[in-house]
A and B are shown apart, each in its own frame.
Chain A
Protein backbone atom coordinates (compact mmCIF):
# COMPACT_ATOMS: atom_id res chain seq x y z
CA UNK A 1 0.00 0.00 0.00
CA UNK A 2 1.13 3.56 -0.60
CA UNK A 3 1.86 6.15 2.05
CA UNK A 4 -1.41 7.86 1.06
CA UNK A 5 -3.52 4.73 1.45
CA UNK A 6 -6.80 5.49 3.22
CA UNK A 7 -7.35 4.41 6.81
CA UNK A 8 -9.20 1.10 7.24
CA UNK A 9 -12.57 2.71 7.87
CA UNK A 10 -12.20 5.04 4.89
CA UNK A 11 -11.19 2.15 2.63
CA UNK A 12 -14.26 0.25 3.76
CA UNK A 13 -16.59 3.16 3.04
CA UNK A 14 -15.00 3.81 -0.35
CA UNK A 15 -15.34 0.15 -1.21
CA UNK A 16 -19.05 0.15 -0.42
CA UNK A 17 -19.80 3.54 -1.97
CA UNK A 18 -17.93 2.98 -5.23
CA UNK A 19 -19.48 -0.44 -5.69
CA UNK A 20 -22.93 1.02 -5.18
CA UNK A 21 -22.25 3.83 -7.62
CA UNK A 22 -21.01 1.46 -10.32
CA UNK A 23 -23.85 -0.98 -9.66
CA UNK A 24 -26.30 1.87 -10.14
CA UNK A 25 -24.74 2.65 -13.51
CA UNK A 26 -24.88 -0.98 -14.60
CA UNK A 27 -28.54 -1.22 -13.54
CA UNK A 28 -29.35 1.99 -15.36
CA UNK A 29 -27.99 0.53 -18.60
CA UNK A 30 -31.01 -1.79 -18.58
CA UNK A 31 -33.80 0.70 -17.97
CA UNK A 32 -34.43 0.29 -21.69
CA UNK A 33 -33.78 -3.06 -23.32
CA UNK A 34 -34.65 -5.32 -20.40
CA UNK A 35 -37.17 -8.16 -20.91
CA UNK A 36 -40.22 -5.99 -20.27
CA UNK A 37 -41.29 -2.46 -19.44
CA UNK A 38 -41.86 -3.53 -15.85
CA UNK A 39 -38.36 -4.95 -15.44
CA UNK A 40 -36.95 -1.76 -16.93
CA UNK A 41 -38.80 0.25 -14.31
CA UNK A 42 -37.44 -2.08 -11.63
CA UNK A 43 -33.94 -1.50 -13.01
CA UNK A 44 -34.57 2.23 -12.81
CA UNK A 45 -35.75 2.01 -9.20
CA UNK A 46 -32.79 -0.12 -8.19
CA UNK A 47 -30.37 2.26 -9.93
CA UNK A 48 -31.99 5.12 -8.03
CA UNK A 49 -31.57 3.25 -4.74
CA UNK A 50 -27.92 2.44 -5.41
CA UNK A 51 -27.07 6.06 -6.12
CA UNK A 52 -28.94 7.19 -3.02
CA UNK A 53 -26.97 4.72 -0.94
CA UNK A 54 -23.71 5.77 -2.57
CA UNK A 55 -24.41 9.40 -1.74
CA UNK A 56 -25.07 8.62 1.93
CA UNK A 57 -21.92 6.52 2.07
CA UNK A 58 -19.72 9.14 0.41
CA UNK A 59 -21.04 11.68 2.91
CA UNK A 60 -19.68 9.49 5.72
CA UNK A 61 -16.19 10.26 4.44
CA UNK A 62 -16.47 13.92 5.38
CA UNK A 63 -15.63 13.20 9.01
CA UNK A 64 -12.75 11.01 7.86
CA UNK A 65 -11.03 14.03 6.35
CA UNK A 66 -12.22 13.67 2.75
CA UNK A 67 -13.91 16.24 0.57
CA UNK A 68 -17.01 14.33 -0.64
CA UNK A 69 -17.18 16.43 -3.82
CA UNK A 70 -13.63 15.49 -4.78
CA UNK A 71 -14.27 11.85 -3.99
CA UNK A 72 -17.44 11.73 -6.09
CA UNK A 73 -16.45 13.94 -8.99
CA UNK A 74 -12.70 14.00 -9.57
CA UNK A 75 -11.11 10.56 -9.15
CA UNK A 76 -9.72 8.70 -12.17
CA UNK A 77 -10.83 5.13 -12.88
CA UNK A 78 -7.76 3.58 -11.29
CA UNK A 79 -8.70 5.22 -7.98
CA UNK A 80 -12.07 3.46 -7.79
CA UNK A 81 -12.58 0.80 -5.12
CA UNK A 82 -15.55 -0.91 -6.78
CA UNK A 83 -16.10 -4.65 -7.12
CA UNK A 84 -14.42 -5.98 -10.31
CA UNK A 85 -17.60 -7.68 -11.52
CA UNK A 86 -18.87 -4.22 -12.39
CA UNK A 87 -15.86 -3.10 -14.43
CA UNK A 88 -17.55 -3.93 -17.72
CA UNK A 89 -21.19 -3.54 -18.85
CA UNK A 90 -23.49 -6.50 -18.40
CA UNK A 91 -23.66 -8.47 -21.64
CA UNK A 92 -27.24 -9.64 -21.21
CA UNK A 93 -30.10 -10.11 -18.75
CA UNK A 94 -28.38 -13.16 -17.30
CA UNK A 95 -25.50 -10.90 -16.26
CA UNK A 96 -27.96 -8.42 -14.81
CA UNK A 97 -29.77 -11.09 -12.81
CA UNK A 98 -26.55 -12.65 -11.57
CA UNK A 99 -25.30 -9.23 -10.45
CA UNK A 100 -28.49 -8.52 -8.47
CA UNK A 101 -28.01 -11.80 -6.63
CA UNK A 102 -24.23 -12.00 -6.34
CA UNK A 103 -22.93 -8.42 -6.22
CA UNK A 104 -25.95 -6.69 -4.71
CA UNK A 105 -26.36 -9.64 -2.34
CA UNK A 106 -22.72 -9.39 -1.22
CA UNK A 107 -23.14 -5.65 -0.78
CA UNK A 108 -26.18 -6.21 1.41
CA UNK A 109 -24.23 -8.59 3.62
CA UNK A 110 -21.38 -6.08 3.89
CA UNK A 111 -23.91 -3.41 4.86
CA UNK A 112 -25.55 -5.65 7.46
CA UNK A 113 -22.14 -6.18 8.99
CA UNK A 114 -21.38 -2.45 8.94
CA UNK A 115 -24.75 -1.50 10.45
CA UNK A 116 -24.15 -3.94 13.28
CA UNK A 117 -20.77 -2.43 14.17
CA UNK A 118 -19.93 0.57 16.32
CA UNK A 119 -19.60 3.26 13.64
CA UNK A 120 -22.44 5.63 14.50
CA UNK A 121 -23.09 6.89 10.97
CA UNK A 122 -23.43 3.33 9.71
CA UNK A 123 -25.75 2.38 12.54
CA UNK A 124 -28.07 5.29 11.77
CA UNK A 125 -27.97 5.37 7.96
CA UNK A 126 -27.51 1.81 6.77
CA UNK A 127 -30.78 0.34 8.12
CA UNK A 128 -32.73 2.48 5.66
CA UNK A 129 -30.50 1.20 2.85
CA UNK A 130 -31.10 -2.38 3.93
CA UNK A 131 -34.85 -1.82 3.95
CA UNK A 132 -34.63 -0.66 0.33
CA UNK A 133 -32.29 -3.52 -0.52
CA UNK A 134 -34.94 -6.02 0.48
CA UNK A 135 -36.82 -5.23 -2.74
CA UNK A 136 -33.66 -5.89 -4.74
CA UNK A 137 -33.35 -9.26 -3.04
CA UNK A 138 -36.90 -10.19 -3.90
CA UNK A 139 -36.53 -9.06 -7.50
CA UNK A 140 -33.18 -10.82 -7.97
CA UNK A 141 -34.38 -14.03 -6.37
CA UNK A 142 -37.48 -14.17 -8.54
CA UNK A 143 -35.58 -13.64 -11.77
CA UNK A 144 -32.76 -15.97 -10.79
CA UNK A 145 -35.22 -18.76 -10.04
CA UNK A 146 -37.14 -18.08 -13.24
CA UNK A 147 -34.06 -18.32 -15.47
CA UNK A 148 -32.70 -21.33 -13.59
CA UNK A 149 -35.99 -23.19 -13.90
CA UNK A 150 -36.23 -22.37 -17.59
CA UNK A 151 -33.27 -24.67 -18.14
CA UNK A 152 -31.41 -24.84 -21.43
CA UNK A 153 -29.54 -21.82 -22.65
CA UNK A 154 -31.15 -19.49 -20.10
CA UNK A 155 -29.92 -21.56 -17.18
CA UNK A 156 -26.49 -22.09 -18.75
CA UNK A 157 -25.98 -18.39 -19.30
CA UNK A 158 -27.18 -17.54 -15.79
CA UNK A 159 -24.85 -20.11 -14.28
CA UNK A 160 -21.96 -18.80 -16.36
CA UNK A 161 -22.66 -15.22 -15.33
CA UNK A 162 -22.88 -16.05 -11.62
CA UNK A 163 -19.75 -18.21 -11.69
CA UNK A 164 -17.84 -15.45 -13.48
CA UNK A 165 -18.81 -12.90 -10.81
CA UNK A 166 -18.51 -14.97 -7.65
CA UNK A 167 -14.72 -15.40 -7.14
CA UNK A 168 -13.83 -11.71 -7.48
CA UNK A 169 -16.91 -10.63 -5.54
CA UNK A 170 -16.10 -13.00 -2.66
CA UNK A 171 -12.56 -11.60 -2.59
CA UNK A 172 -14.02 -8.09 -2.50
CA UNK A 173 -16.39 -9.08 0.31
CA UNK A 174 -13.80 -11.09 2.23
CA UNK A 175 -10.46 -9.33 1.77
CA UNK A 176 -8.91 -11.28 4.63
CA UNK A 177 -6.10 -8.75 5.02
CA UNK A 178 -4.70 -6.74 7.93
CA UNK A 179 -6.70 -3.66 7.00
CA UNK A 180 -9.95 -5.58 7.29
CA UNK A 181 -8.79 -7.23 10.51
CA UNK A 182 -8.25 -3.76 11.95
CA UNK A 183 -11.91 -3.05 11.31
CA UNK A 184 -12.94 -6.32 12.92
CA UNK A 185 -10.73 -5.66 15.95
CA UNK A 186 -12.17 -2.17 16.26
CA UNK A 187 -15.73 -3.49 16.31
CA UNK A 188 -16.62 -1.82 13.01
CA UNK A 189 -17.63 -4.94 11.08
CA UNK A 190 -18.21 -8.67 11.48
CA UNK A 191 -15.36 -11.14 11.18
CA UNK A 192 -14.69 -12.58 7.73
CA UNK A 193 -15.95 -15.93 8.97
CA UNK A 194 -19.27 -14.46 10.06
CA UNK A 195 -19.62 -12.52 6.80
CA UNK A 196 -18.98 -15.68 4.78
CA UNK A 197 -21.53 -17.59 6.84
CA UNK A 198 -24.14 -14.89 6.36
CA UNK A 199 -23.41 -14.79 2.65
CA UNK A 200 -23.87 -18.55 2.38
CA UNK A 201 -27.10 -18.41 4.41
CA UNK A 202 -28.42 -15.75 2.10
CA UNK A 203 -27.29 -17.06 -1.29
CA UNK A 204 -26.56 -20.79 -1.18
CA UNK A 205 -30.07 -22.14 -1.77
CA UNK A 206 -30.71 -19.73 -4.62
CA UNK A 207 -27.37 -20.35 -6.32
CA UNK A 208 -27.93 -24.09 -6.00
CA UNK A 209 -30.88 -23.75 -8.36
CA UNK A 210 -28.36 -22.83 -11.04
CA UNK A 211 -26.16 -25.78 -10.07
CA UNK A 212 -23.68 -23.69 -8.10
CA UNK A 213 -22.34 -24.79 -4.71
CA UNK A 214 -21.32 -21.57 -3.02
CA UNK A 215 -19.25 -23.33 -0.37
CA UNK A 216 -16.99 -24.63 -3.15
CA UNK A 217 -16.27 -21.20 -4.62
CA UNK A 218 -12.96 -19.72 -3.52
CA UNK A 219 -12.29 -15.97 -3.48
CA UNK A 220 -9.98 -14.98 -6.34
CA UNK A 221 -7.28 -12.72 -4.93
CA UNK A 222 -4.87 -12.96 -7.86
CA UNK A 223 -3.17 -9.61 -8.40
CA UNK A 224 -4.76 -8.29 -5.22
CA UNK A 225 -4.63 -4.52 -4.76
CA UNK A 226 -4.76 -4.13 -0.99
CA UNK A 227 -5.19 -0.38 -1.13
CA UNK A 228 -8.34 -0.59 -3.26
CA UNK A 229 -9.47 -3.90 -1.74
CA UNK A 230 -10.00 -5.52 -5.09
CA UNK A 231 -8.32 -7.46 -7.84
CA UNK A 232 -6.43 -5.80 -10.71
CA UNK A 233 -8.03 -3.52 -13.25
CA UNK A 234 -10.49 -0.65 -13.04
CA UNK A 235 -14.01 0.17 -14.13
CA UNK A 236 -14.36 1.19 -17.77
CA UNK A 237 -13.60 4.85 -18.37
CA UNK A 238 -17.04 5.43 -19.89
CA UNK A 239 -18.72 4.33 -16.66
CA UNK A 240 -16.41 6.44 -14.52
CA UNK A 241 -17.13 9.51 -16.66
CA UNK A 242 -20.81 8.97 -15.89
CA UNK A 243 -20.13 8.30 -12.20
CA UNK A 244 -18.19 11.56 -11.93
CA UNK A 245 -20.70 13.52 -13.96
CA UNK A 246 -18.02 14.79 -16.36
CA UNK A 247 -20.46 16.13 -18.96
CA UNK A 248 -22.18 18.28 -16.38
CA UNK A 249 -19.10 19.52 -14.59
CA UNK A 250 -19.76 23.13 -15.61
CA UNK A 251 -23.40 22.81 -14.55
CA UNK A 252 -22.83 21.83 -10.93
CA UNK A 253 -24.60 24.63 -9.06
CA UNK A 254 -25.86 24.92 -5.51
Chain B
Protein backbone atom coordinates (compact mmCIF):
# COMPACT_ATOMS: atom_id res chain seq x y z
CA UNK B 1 0.00 0.00 0.00
CA UNK B 2 1.22 3.47 -0.81
CA UNK B 3 0.84 5.95 2.02
CA UNK B 4 0.71 9.72 1.92
CA UNK B 5 3.82 11.54 3.15
CA UNK B 6 4.78 10.28 6.60
CA UNK B 7 1.81 7.91 6.57
CA UNK B 8 -0.52 10.80 7.34
CA UNK B 9 -3.46 8.99 5.72
CA UNK B 10 -3.42 6.65 8.73
CA UNK B 11 -2.61 9.14 11.46
CA UNK B 12 -4.99 9.14 14.45
CA UNK B 13 -7.19 12.09 15.24
CA UNK B 14 -5.57 14.52 17.71
CA UNK B 15 -6.39 13.96 21.36
CA UNK B 16 -9.03 16.50 22.41
CA UNK B 17 -7.70 16.69 25.97
CA UNK B 18 -4.09 16.80 27.06
CA UNK B 19 -3.15 13.32 28.32
CA UNK B 20 -1.53 12.76 31.68
CA UNK B 21 1.54 11.15 30.13
CA UNK B 22 2.29 13.74 27.48
CA UNK B 23 5.71 12.40 26.55
CA UNK B 24 4.20 8.94 26.14
CA UNK B 25 1.45 10.35 23.96
CA UNK B 26 4.03 12.13 21.83
CA UNK B 27 5.99 8.93 21.40
CA UNK B 28 2.82 7.12 20.38
CA UNK B 29 2.09 9.85 17.85
CA UNK B 30 5.61 9.55 16.44
CA UNK B 31 4.96 5.83 16.18
CA UNK B 32 2.45 6.69 13.47
CA UNK B 33 4.91 8.71 11.37
CA UNK B 34 6.34 6.56 8.60
CA UNK B 35 9.82 6.85 7.18
CA UNK B 36 9.60 8.19 3.59
CA UNK B 37 11.52 5.26 2.14
CA UNK B 38 10.65 2.31 4.37
CA UNK B 39 7.08 1.51 5.45
CA UNK B 40 7.86 1.43 9.15
CA UNK B 41 7.64 4.25 11.66
CA UNK B 42 10.44 6.52 12.76
CA UNK B 43 10.20 4.91 16.20
CA UNK B 44 10.47 1.41 14.76
CA UNK B 45 13.38 2.52 12.61
CA UNK B 46 15.14 3.72 15.76
CA UNK B 47 15.45 7.35 14.71
CA UNK B 48 13.75 8.82 17.79
CA UNK B 49 16.34 9.17 20.54
CA UNK B 50 14.25 11.13 23.00
CA UNK B 51 10.89 12.82 23.56
CA UNK B 52 10.12 15.47 26.14
CA UNK B 53 7.31 17.89 26.87
CA UNK B 54 7.30 21.04 28.96
CA UNK B 55 5.13 24.14 29.00
CA UNK B 56 3.44 23.44 25.69
CA UNK B 57 6.64 22.64 23.84
CA UNK B 58 7.33 19.16 22.50
CA UNK B 59 11.00 18.33 22.08
CA UNK B 60 12.18 15.46 19.94
CA UNK B 61 15.75 14.18 19.72
CA UNK B 62 15.94 12.83 16.20
CA UNK B 63 18.71 11.19 14.24
CA UNK B 64 18.94 10.05 10.64
CA UNK B 65 20.22 6.98 8.88
CA UNK B 66 22.87 9.01 7.03
CA UNK B 67 24.50 12.41 7.50
CA UNK B 68 23.22 13.48 4.10
CA UNK B 69 19.88 11.69 4.22
CA UNK B 70 17.90 13.24 1.34
CA UNK B 71 14.68 12.86 3.33
CA UNK B 72 15.72 14.94 6.35
CA UNK B 73 13.42 17.85 5.57
CA UNK B 74 10.46 15.59 4.80
CA UNK B 75 10.93 13.68 8.03
CA UNK B 76 11.21 16.84 10.11
CA UNK B 77 8.10 18.27 8.50
CA UNK B 78 6.14 15.05 9.09
CA UNK B 79 7.20 15.10 12.76
CA UNK B 80 6.15 18.74 13.12
CA UNK B 81 2.83 18.13 11.38
CA UNK B 82 1.92 15.05 13.41
CA UNK B 83 2.89 16.36 16.83
CA UNK B 84 1.86 19.89 16.06
CA UNK B 85 -1.65 18.70 15.28
CA UNK B 86 -2.22 17.98 18.96
CA UNK B 87 -4.11 20.95 20.44
CA UNK B 88 -2.06 20.79 23.65
CA UNK B 89 1.22 21.23 21.75
CA UNK B 90 2.06 24.87 21.09
CA UNK B 91 5.52 24.36 19.61
CA UNK B 92 7.69 21.53 18.31
CA UNK B 93 11.46 21.60 18.71
CA UNK B 94 13.53 19.05 16.83
CA UNK B 95 17.03 18.46 18.10
CA UNK B 96 19.21 16.76 15.49
CA UNK B 97 21.52 14.28 17.22
CA UNK B 98 24.25 11.95 15.94
CA UNK B 99 25.35 10.25 19.12
CA UNK B 100 25.23 7.30 19.25
CA UNK B 101 25.49 6.84 15.48
CA UNK B 102 22.45 5.15 13.96
CA UNK B 103 22.97 1.63 12.63
CA UNK B 104 20.51 -1.05 11.56
CA UNK B 105 20.91 -2.53 15.04
CA UNK B 106 18.60 0.24 16.26
CA UNK B 107 15.63 -1.06 14.26
CA UNK B 108 13.07 -2.54 16.65
CA UNK B 109 11.95 -6.16 16.49
CA UNK B 110 8.53 -5.04 15.28
CA UNK B 111 10.21 -2.99 12.57
CA UNK B 112 12.34 -5.94 11.53
CA UNK B 113 9.30 -8.17 11.25
CA UNK B 114 7.50 -5.65 9.03
CA UNK B 115 10.55 -5.21 6.81
CA UNK B 116 11.01 -8.97 6.69
CA UNK B 117 7.47 -9.45 5.38
CA UNK B 118 8.42 -7.10 2.55
CA UNK B 119 11.57 -9.05 1.81
CA UNK B 120 13.88 -6.45 3.30
CA UNK B 121 16.56 -7.82 5.60
CA UNK B 122 17.94 -5.63 8.37
Which residues of A does B touch, CB under 8 Å? Answer: 48-49, 51-53, 55-56, 123-125, 127-129, 131-132
Contacts and interface: CB of A to CB of B under 8 A. Distances in A.
B33 to A, nearest CB: 22
Contacts, number: 37
Nearest to B97: A124
Interface string B7-51: 000000000000000000000000000000000000000000000
Contacts of B103: 131
Dominant SS among interface residues on chain A: helix
A49 B67 contact: yes
B77 to A, nearest CB: 12
Interface residues of B, number: 12
A48 B67 CA distance: 9
B68 interface: yes
B101 A48 contact: no
B101 A55 contact: no
Given A127-B99, A128-B102, A131-B103, 6 more contacts: A49-B67, A51-B68, A52-B66, A123-B99, A128-B99, A131-B101
A132 B66 contact: yes
A128 B67 CA distance: 7
A179 B74 CA distance: 41
A121 to B, nearest CB: 10
A55 B68 contact: yes
